């Protein structure tokens, strides 16, 4: 077996580099000055060595040392100041709103260290920051574009329907129909605003109060009961396989996860379809699977379903705003869990939530 090489953080710390430059400069300048002075005395001075001659020689040696050393230090520090100037220029670009800037780094020839020096480490962290800011800027623009589109659609519909109602000349049945459409679009707009506020709160929430010791099976049954009007209207059957597993978690946030997932399963199920809910323990985790036999999704769309405002063609057939699964994923991650999706177009979707049990259980 090959011996594992210990990886160091820095190849050469800056204090070591500056010390090497200083010592090298002093040695080179002193030797050069001594050689020049001694050579000059040897070839050009024919008189006796007196105290004045020795003092003059020392003054000349010191003067040459300072002059030559100054040039060498100025040349050597260019290597130190050049990357600092690059970082400063890049920071100026960031301040002006250009997040696509990147500081070039020295290629590593030895894998036993992470960075050449502290400036190289700073450049790496700066590049990561710039990429993250660029990603956040893109997400912000995309978010504003999506919000604008999602808000504009129901707002335009409400405006159009109310203008028709104001103009009058409609039968009582037509008025009721348009009022029902206005009400439907108002509810959609209200739901969008509510989900946006909820997503904003979750994004800014760092600490989650995990203080509820609950039974997962009871909470899943409660979520299904709360949605009974929806699944009874579509005559959906439930296949339930639940174990009596307890977990320490945040009750309200977790209930919101089950309501969202079961609501989606109902929404995309066919009339008279079936939804299965299973919950069991696997090692130190609680696994919950919610599967439907509805319209499903194409494989290439599955990785995007947790993105904010993402709606595939299948979801556009139903009412939604593309924030539900984003909220679910955020909550699951806040509870130190994981969520995944399996789906096949025309056959249904299975959502799997895995929650830690060992850390928070009694």
How do residues 166-181 score in pLDDT, each as one tens digit? 888 788 888 888 888 8
- pLDDT at residue 360 is higher than 50: no
- pLDDT at residue 320 is higher than 50: yes
- pLDDT at residue 99 is higher than 90: no
Spatial CB neighbours of 259, under 8 Å, sequence gap ≥ 6: 223, 226, 227
Model pLDDT, residue 308: 64
* pLDDT tens, position by position, 243-276: 888 888 888 888 889 988 998 888 888 888 899 9
Distances (CA, A) of 102 to 11, 26, 82, 138: 22, 36, 15, 17
Tokens for 253, please give them: 């946030």
Q: What is the C-alpha separation between 97 and 91, in angstroms, rounded?
A: 10
Q: What is the C-alpha separation between 310 and 146, in angstroms, rounded?
A: 9
- pLDDT at residue 361 is higher than 60: no
Model pLDDT, residue 288: 93
* Residues 34 and 137: beta-carbon distance below 8 Å: no
Which residue in this structure is represented by tokens 């109602």?
A: 165
* Residues 255 and 222: beta-carbon distance below 8 Å: yes
Q: What strand order describes the sheet that includes 348-356? A: 237-242, 274-282, 285-292, 348-356, 338-344
229 vs 307 pLDDT, higher one: 229
Model pLDDT, residue 321: 56
- pLDDT at residue 317 is higher than 70: no
Strand partners, 115: 10
Model pLDDT, residue 101: 85
Mean pLDDT score of the chain, rounded to an integer?
A: 77
Model pLDDT, residue 136: 74
pLDDT band at 94 (very low <50, low <70, confident <90, very high): confident
Spatial CB neighbours of 349, under 8 Å, sequence gap ≥ 6: 264, 265, 268, 291, 292, 294, 296, 297, 341, 342, 343
Model pLDDT, residue 312: 60
Alpha helices in the chain (DSSP H): 14-44, 51-95, 118-167, 172-203, 216-226, 228-233, 251-267, 313-316, 324-334
Model pLDDT, residue 316: 44
* Residues 294 and 270: beta-carbon distance below 8 Å: yes
Q: What is the C-alpha separation between 46 and 268, in angstroms, rounded?
A: 107
How much is the pTM? 0.54
Q: Which of 179-193, 195-209, 295-309, 312-326 has the lowest mean pLDDT?
A: 312-326
Angle, CA of 72, 109 and 107, to the nearest 5°: 70
Strand partners, 238: 275
Q: What is the C-alpha separation between 207 and 326, in angstroms, rounded?
A: 19
Helix axes 324-334, 251-267, angle to 10 degrees: 150
End-to-end, the C-alpha distance of the chain in Å comes to 43
Q: Which of 141-155, 258-272, 347-361 has the lowest mean pLDDT?
A: 141-155
* Highest mean pLDDT (candidates 33-42, 91-100, 110-119): 91-100
Q: What is the C-alpha separation between 117 and 9, in angstroms, rounded?
A: 9
Q: What is the C-alpha separation between 296 and 342, in angstroms, rounded?
A: 9
* Residues 335 and 355: beta-carbon distance below 8 Å: yes
284 vs 20 pLDDT, higher one: 284
Model pLDDT, residue 290: 92
63 vs 167 pLDDT, higher one: 167
Which residue in this structure is represented by tokens 């260019």?
A: 78
Model pLDDT, residue 190: 77
* Residues 275 and 294: beta-carbon distance below 8 Å: no
pLDDT above 70 covers a percentage of the chain that reads 70
* pLDDT tens, position by position, 273-315: 899 999 999 888 899 999 998 888 888 887 878 776 666 654 4
- pLDDT at residue 65 is higher than 60: yes
């Amino acid at each position: 077996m090959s011996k594992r090489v210990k990886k160091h953080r820095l190849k050469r710390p800056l204090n070591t580099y500056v010390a090497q430059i200083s010592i090298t400069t002093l040695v080179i300048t002193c030797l050069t000055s001594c050689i020049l002075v001694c050579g000059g005395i040897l070839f050009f001075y024919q008189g006796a060595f007196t105290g004045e001659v020795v003092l003059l020689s020392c003054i000349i040696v010191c003067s040459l040392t300072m002059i030559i050393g100054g040039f060498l230090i100025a040349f050597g520090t260019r290597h130190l100041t050049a990357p600092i100037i690059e970082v400063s220029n890049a920071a100026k670009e960031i301040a002006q709103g250009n997040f696509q800037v990147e500081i070039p780094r020295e290629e590593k020839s030895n894998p036993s260290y992470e960075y050449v020096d502290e400036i190289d480490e700073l450049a790496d962290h700066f590049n990561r920051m710039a990429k993250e800011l660029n990603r956040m800027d893109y997400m912000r623009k995309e978010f504003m574009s999506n919000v604008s589109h999602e808000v504009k659609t129901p707002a335009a519909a409400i405006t159009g329907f109310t203008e028709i109602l104001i103009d009058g000349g409609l039968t009582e049945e037509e008025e009721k129909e348009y009022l029902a459409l206005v009400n439907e679009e108002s509810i959609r707009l209200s739901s969008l605003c509510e989900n946006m506020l909820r997503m904003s709160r979750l994004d800014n929430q760092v600490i989650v109060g995990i203080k509820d010791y609950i039974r997962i099976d009871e909470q899943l049954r409660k979520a299904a009961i709360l949605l009974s009007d929806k699944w009874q209207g579509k005559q959906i059957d439930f296949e339930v396989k639940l174990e009596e597993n307890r977990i320490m978690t945040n009750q309200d946030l977790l209930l919101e996860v089950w309501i969202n997932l079961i609501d989606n399963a109902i929404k995309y199920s066919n009339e008279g379809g079936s939804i299965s809910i299973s919950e069991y323990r696997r090692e130190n985790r609680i696994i919950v699977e919610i599967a439907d036999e509805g319209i499903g999704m194409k494989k290439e769309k599955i990785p995007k379903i947790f993105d904010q405002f993402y709606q595939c063609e299948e979801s556009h057939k139903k009412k939604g705003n593309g924030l539900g699964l984003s909220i679910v994923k955020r909550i699951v991650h806040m509870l130190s869990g994981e969520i995944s999706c399996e789906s096949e177009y025309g056959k249904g979707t299975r959502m799997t939530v895995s929650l830690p049990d060992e850390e928070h259980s009694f």
